[in-house]
Amino acid sequence: MTTFVADYRINRQDVQLYEQPSDVQFLSTNAQMVQVGAGQGQVFQDEAGNHALQWYQNAMMCQLTSKLPVSQLINLASVFQPIKSWDLLR
């Protein structure tokens, strides 16, 4: 993922959100498939216990990375909505 969007701190764990414009969802045979809201996502885990949850939403490939349990990352990803007004960011 190439575009860093936000950094969260949840239950004393860092959570990073990345987004990348995409016309298609990239799927990997090495990932565990999970349900994210009404869509599908995929989870990767490295040797250090870091999780990466990827899902496709609103023409964006999104990714959350953290040591949080996958269930918490899925819950967080399920509530993301596209920004409809830049006034919210002021």
Output the CA torsion sign for 34, 35, 41, 45.
negative
- The whole-angstrom separation of Cα 55 and Cα 88 is 24
| 38 vs 81, more confident | 38
Q: Does residue 48 carry a pLDDT above 80?
A: yes
Residue 33's DSSP bridge partners are 42
Q: Does residue 69 carry a pLDDT above 90?
A: yes
The answer to whether the beta carbons of residues 19 and 1 sit under 8 Å apart is: yes
Q: Which of 39, 90, 81, 36 is nearest to 52 (CA)?
A: 36
Token pair for 21: 């414009």
| 24 vs 53, more confident | 53
* Mean pLDDT, residues 32-39 taken together: 92
Residue spans per domain, the chain: 3-23+34-79
